[in-house]
């Protein structure tokens, strides 16, 4: 996983609450068995005027000029400003994959859905929760200033506006540590193999039925 330390980038405002993962990446694109290539279909139904299917040449499809990410001033945005409960619905990790593939590195919202929030950290995408009033202010400033950029500092847990205003955010120490160093969760867990085996042994004594499969055969 790509480490995340600091990031400075252009902000795009997505002014809707409860943006669900079906909207972030519609189901027809979930048929892929790869992790990459979802960016062109991010927000597909809002972004294009026609109906998208896998295998289409997205460069040739008609863009919806009203959709915010299609406006010239937001081209190259890497920070997405959103409203409450962003990422609700399906657990599909294709949603963060699509956001990352498109070029986003930071999401800012008053709240995120749990599974989505968790999935972001596994993909080097930093979801930042700021109070609703602050998010409101950032929306106003983004609309008011073309080329509005924010600076995000993970070690300092801060977001800095162009005028130098600083907002602090909260992130779990462990998540922060893993993201800062781009650590792989499985690698970390495998350092605890002895503890896992000890747990299993204890559990097998207390609750042996958990280790018996359908045929009544005990598994190792």
The residues of the shown chain that bind other proteins, judged by CB under 8 A, are 15-18, 20, 22-23, 26-28, 30-35, 45, 51, 54-55, 83-85, 88-94, 96, 111, 113-115, 118-119, 122-123, 172-175, 185-186, 188-190, 192, 195-196, 199-200, 203, 207-214, 216, 219
Which of 146, 185 has the CB closer to other proteins?
185
**Whole-number Å distance between alpha carbons of 35 and 66:** 29
Apex CA 131: angle with CA 128 and CA 135, to 5°?
A: 75
Cβ–Cβ < 8 Å for 132, 110:
yes
Q: How far is the CB of 63 from other proteins (least distance, A)?
A: 16
- Write out the two tokens for 98: 């699509």
Which of 114, 165 has the CB closer to other proteins?
114
Which of 8, 84 has the CB closer to other proteins?
84
Q: What is the DSSP letter of 147?
A: T
Q: How far is the CB of 160 from other proteins (least distance, A)?
A: 25
Q: How far is the CB of 77 from other proteins (least distance, A)?
A: 21
**Whole-number Å distance between alpha carbons of 79 and 8:** 8
**Whole-number Å distance between alpha carbons of 48 and 160:** 33
Q: How far is the CB of 76 from other proteins (least distance, A)?
A: 27
Q: How far is the CB of 2 from other proteins (least distance, A)?
A: 14
Which of 92, 105 has the CB closer to other proteins?
92
**Whole-number Å distance between alpha carbons of 103 and 202:** 46
Q: How far is the CB of 111 from other proteins (least distance, A)?
A: 6
Which of 28, 64 has the CB closer to other proteins?
28
**Whole-number Å distance between alpha carbons of 52 and 121:** 28
Which of 34, 76 has the CB closer to other proteins?
34
**Whole-number Å distance between alpha carbons of 74 and 79:** 10
**Whole-number Å distance between alpha carbons of 121 and 106:** 11
């Amino acid at each position: 996983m790509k480490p995340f330390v600091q990031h400075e980038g252009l902000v795009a405002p997505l002014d809707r609450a409860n943006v669900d993962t079906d909207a972030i990446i519609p189901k027809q694109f979930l048929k892929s068995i790869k992790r990459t290539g979802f960016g062109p279909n991010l927000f597909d139904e809002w972004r294009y005027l026609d109906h998208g299917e896998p295998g289409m040449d997205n460069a040739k499809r008609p863009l919806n000029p009203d959709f915010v990410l299609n406006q010239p001033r937001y081209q190259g945005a890497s920070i997405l400003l959103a409203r409450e409960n962003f990422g609700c619905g399906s657990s599909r990790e294709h949603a963060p994959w699509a956001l990352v593939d498109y070029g986003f590195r930071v999401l800012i919202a008053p709240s995120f859905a749990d599974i989505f929030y968790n999935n972001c950290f596994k993909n080097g995408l930093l979801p930042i929760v700021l109070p609703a009033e602050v998010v409101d202010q950032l929306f106003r400033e983004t609309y008011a200033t073309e080329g509005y950029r924010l600076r995000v500092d993970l070690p300092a847990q801060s977001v800095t506006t162009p005028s130098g205003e600083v907002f602090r955010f909260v992130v779990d120490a462990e998540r922060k540590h893993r993201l800062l160093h781009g650590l792989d969760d499985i690698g970390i867990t495998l350092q605890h193999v002895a503890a896992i085996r000890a747990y299993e042994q204890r559990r097998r004594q207390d609750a042996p039925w958990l280790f018996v499969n359908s045929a009544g055969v005990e598994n190792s």
